[in-house]
Amino acid sequence: MARDLFHSAVKNALVKEQWSITADPLKIKIDGVKLEIDLAAEKVIAAEKEGHKIAVEIKSFLNTSAITDFHAALGQFLNYRLALQMTESDRVLYLAVPLETFASFFQERFIQEAIKLYQLRLVVYDPEKEVVTEWRD
């Protein structure tokens, strides 16, 4: 699988937020089906005994058709979420979206409805500053 253009930017942004990258990529095998989610990370919270475990699928949305990119991202997200439910149910999946795309395309009513319906969790990132600007649960 080809690395997403903004892979290292998102990885660096997560590290800045004290996440430990535990897999790059996170490989999941269910019988004959093999999947690779871009990153797995964990964060131990001092006030809690158990840490948070996440998986992040990184998207750049650089193709000429944002809706085509969204179709692909949504399909991957839903399949990866199912795979995590079957193998690592304590890990929460996020879709990483660039700030510019989130501020424009992701504000469209159709996309907002899809996010609600499919319960997409988003991590919005700034690829130039390599920071997370927002977590959307």
In the chain, % of residues over pLDDT 70: 93
- Domain 7-136 class, CATH top level: alpha beta
What average pLDDT does the segment 40-60 reach?
81
Residue 26 has pLDDT above 70, yes or no: yes
Predicted local distance difference test score (pLDDT) of residue 5: 73
Q: Which position has the token pair 């903004």?
A: 6
72-129 pLDDT, tens digit per residue, is: 999 999 999 999 999 999 999 999 999 999 999 999 999 999 999 999 999 999 999 9
User: Hey, where are the domains in the chain?
Assistant: 7-136
Distance CA(121)–CA(137), nearest Å, equals: 5
